[in-house]
Structure 1
Amino acid sequence: MNNLLFDFTVDKAANKVLISKEFAAELTLVWDAFTKQEILDQWWAPKPWESKTKNMNFKVGGKRFYAMVSPEGEESWSLQKYVSITPKTNFKMTNAFADKDENPELPGSDWDFNFSEENGITKVNIIITNESQERFEKMLEMGFRGGFTMTLNYLDTLLETLKK
């Protein structure tokens, strides 16, 4: 295994999750993995689930509407709305569970992604803030830590193949 940083901190008092992860890939490739539908759908779900985007428009005011789909076809929908984008350094979005018709289940959470590169290693810092303690607890109960850790590890593997 590599010696790249991976830190996952749950701050229950503040309803926040703080994630820092380094990838052995250039910034542009990692940025694309988080912002392009065709790459996101290859890793943004814990296996054996798959990510299937119905629509995505990565721009301020745009959104991504997608489902995590189980092997049995069960769909768990989410709606992400892009609040701000600073190319290759930061983007912010709101994220809410939703029904299949794009009706969000509020409250949601705010995600703040920060990207930086040093010596070919790209670091991504993610701050997830939940408006409500109830939603925060639900996210944790659903296995968010294990599931998101798994998906970030898939991204490691995917980046290796995309670099070739």
Structure 2
Amino acid sequence: MTSALLFDFIVDKENRTITIKREFDSDLALVWEAWTNPEILDKWYAPKPFRAETQKMDFREGGFWHYAMINPQGEKQGYSRYDYQKIEPEKTIIELRGFCDENGTVNPNFARTTCSNDFSEADGKTLVTIHAQYGSVETLEFIVKNGFIEGMSACFGNLDEWLDTLKK
């Protein structure tokens, strides 16, 4: 990873939000594909030594991504579901995120998170701005306390590695 790439992570407890700005040393089309192709998502969307495993993905407005987090022993540690609310190709993905079971049924005990992922390109680099609005302060605190910042940082490092392999 190039150390000069932008990475901002802002937690605003009062407004129940997390905003992440992350730059990638790659063109927009490739970063967009990494965000929308389940085979590629599975390569980077989990902090090592964990891995993501897509259970089902229907990438369209009204569709969803259901995935499992797999531990190093191959056991499924938990599931998440992202329901796609709005998609503007190579610009925006708005999704409603939640923890769920193996069937994709969302856990009602955790307030869901509305998340906007915005993509832009300048000088051959892609900036992704993620704005997550949590349904409750308790959910936000749980996420932060349980390593969300460190986990996302690791995931983005995985994506940097994957993008770098394409340059070689």
Would the TM-score normalized by the shorter structure come out above 0.5? yes
1:64 matched to 2:68? The reply is: no
- Residue 157 of structure 2 is matched in structure 1 by 153
1:116-127 paired onto structure 2 within 5 Å: 116-127=120-131
Range moving further from structure 2, 153-162 or 79-88: 153-162
- The question of whether the paired residues in 1 share the 8 Å contact of 2:32 and 2:90 is answered with yes
**TM-score, with length taken from structure 1:** 0.96
Range moving further from structure 2, 146-155 or 66-75: 66-75
- The question of whether the paired residues in 2 share the 8 Å contact of 1:25 and 1:163 is answered with no
Distance of 1:74 and 1:63 partners within structure 2: 19
3-state DSSP of counterpart to 2:156: helix
**Corresponding letter in the other structure for 2:47:** P
- The question of whether the paired residues in 1 share the 8 Å contact of 2:134 and 2:140 is answered with yes
Deviations 1:40-73 (A, max 9, x none): 0000001100100010011000001100111121
Distance of 1:140 and 1:105 partners within structure 2: 19
Stretches of structure 2 lacking an aligned partner (at least 5 in a row): none
3-state DSSP of counterpart to 2:14: helix
Range moving further from structure 2, 67-76 or 146-155: 67-76
- The question of whether the paired residues in 2 share the 8 Å contact of 1:84 and 1:92 is answered with yes
3-state DSSP of counterpart to 2:90: coil
User: Which consecutive aligned stretches of 4+ in structure 1 deviate over 6 angstroms post-superposition?
Assistant: none
Deviations 1:48-101 (A, max 9, x none): 001000100110000011001111214210011000000001110011001112
- Residue 111 of structure 1 is matched in structure 2 by 115
1:135 matched to 2:135? The reply is: no
Paired positions, count: 164
1:42-81 paired onto structure 2 within 5 Å: 42-72=43-73, 73-81=75-83
Stretches of structure 1 lacking an aligned partner (at least 5 in a row): none
3-state DSSP of counterpart to 2:47: coil
- The question of whether the paired residues in 1 share the 8 Å contact of 2:68 and 2:76 is answered with no
Distance of 1:28 and 1:163 partners within structure 2: 14
Distance of 2:105 and 2:14 partners within structure 1: 29
- Residue 27 of structure 2 is matched in structure 1 by 26
Distance of 2:40 and 2:161 partners within structure 1: 12
**TM-score, with length taken from structure 2:** 0.94
Aligned-residue identity in percent: 37
3-state DSSP of counterpart to 1:79: strand
